[in-house]
Copies of this chain bind each other. A is one copy, B any other.
Amino acid sequence: MAVYTDITETELRDFLEPYDIGELLSYKGIAEGVENSNFLVHTSAGSYILTLYEKRVDRNDLPFFLGLMEHLAQNGLTCPLPVHRRDGIVLGTLAGRPAAVISFLEGMWPRKPTPMHCREVGKAAAVLHVSGRGFQRNRANALSVGAWRALWDQSASRADEVEAGLGAEIQTDLDHLEGNWPQGLPSGVIHADLFPDNVFFLGEELSGVIDFYFACNDLFAYDIAICLNAWCFERDGAFNVTKGMALLDGYQSVRPLSGAEADALPLLAHGAALRFFLTRLYDWLTVPDGAMVVKKDPREYLRYLRFHRKIGSAGEYGLRMGEAG
């Protein structure tokens, strides 16, 4: 949750003047998004999200994120659409921060995902991968395999505070993943943070994919690997293969995986677990208590990466390859 910046009603009214979205009626800071300040804005024309981009987001990345949302929304993904001002601009300045107005999507993220939800998110991930193909901009993944060692170096000396022997264990994983990371798999735009709180549902229907602020160019199968981690483990740490199957079936109903992608999936899932483990470990050890950042226990992802380490083939996640595989 986060509202870092308060804004006055007069500066907001001035900010909205160049938009064709009616009269401002109300705005509430909402407890959503970890990196930015978000407001739910009501106008006489409807509901909108106003986002103020705070320090953790690189201003230079904003045209990629906003352009991508627009591109994906126009190419079949249900996601928020940045609103253009009358002069065409989508990115303004409010309270000294870059700020954008985007369409508001009704729906609720599933606190307890079911196989139905997993199937739909798998499908949406594939739609995103396919829809992103014509997008002109590029953004490297700042949190992919090449970035992990530097991240690890900032926590390594204190890792054994979390669990004895953890330092050596993670070091071995990192060496293994760096040495075996796949090359040449199908790639393009990925979401890279497709967790349940970024996917809205209305009943059984997926009503919106949000929060594209980690989106980047990387392996499609790595995005699937992130989803397997984020959607298919139970609270007790057990992998639910029914959910894995639903997610992978959903994905393949739109974009079938190649044999090479299927082969790489256990290693990619292992890597995805390490990526979230490393950022959580860093926050856990570094961010002071009471700061605005919500710290999540890194041990959740430690369990996941230990699970993936033992996986022999993607079939253990529930992957079923059709004749196309």
Most buried by B among A3, A6, A108, A111: A108
A74 to B108, CA, bound (A): 34
Contact A108 B24 (CB under 8 A): yes
A26 contact from B27, B28, B200, Cβ within 8 A: B200
Indicate whether A29 sits within 8 Å of B9 (C-beta atoms), given known contacts A106-B42, A289-B290. Answer: no
A1 contact from B3, B9, B109, B289, Cβ within 8 A: B3
Contact B31 A3 (CB under 8 A): yes
Contact A26 B290 (CB under 8 A): no
A12 to B109, CA, bound (A): 12
Most buried by B among A8, A29, A31, A289: A31
A110 to B11, CA, bound (A): 11
Closest chain B residue, CB of each to CB of A288:
B290
* Complex copy number for this chain: 2
Closest chain B residue, CB of each to CB of A106:
B25
Closest chain B residue, CB of each to CB of A112:
B8
In angstroms, how far is the closest chain B Cβ from the Cβ of A184? 41
What is A's interface to B at a CB cutoff of 8 Å? 1, 3, 6, 8-10, 12, 24-32, 40, 42, 47, 105-112, 200-202, 288-291
A267 to B14, CA, bound (A): 41
In angstroms, how far is the closest chain B Cβ from the Cβ of A196? 11
Contact A108 B202 (CB under 8 A): no
7 contacts between A and B (CB under 8 A): A28-B30, A28-B31, A30-B30, A31-B31, A42-B106, A288-B290, A289-B290
Contact A26 B111 (CB under 8 A): no
Contact B29 A1 (CB under 8 A): yes
Contact B112 A25 (CB under 8 A): no
A289 to B289, CA, bound (A): 9
CB-CB under 8 A from A200, the residues of chain B are 26
Contact B42 A32 (CB under 8 A): no
Indicate whether A10 sits within 8 Å of B112 (C-beta atoms), given known contacts A28-B31, A40-B30. Answer: yes
CB-CB under 8 A from A27, the residues of chain B are 108
Closest chain B residue, CB of each to CB of A28:
B30
Closest chain B residue, CB of each to CB of A11:
B111
Closest chain B residue, CB of each to CB of A27:
B108
A108 to B39, CA, bound (A): 13
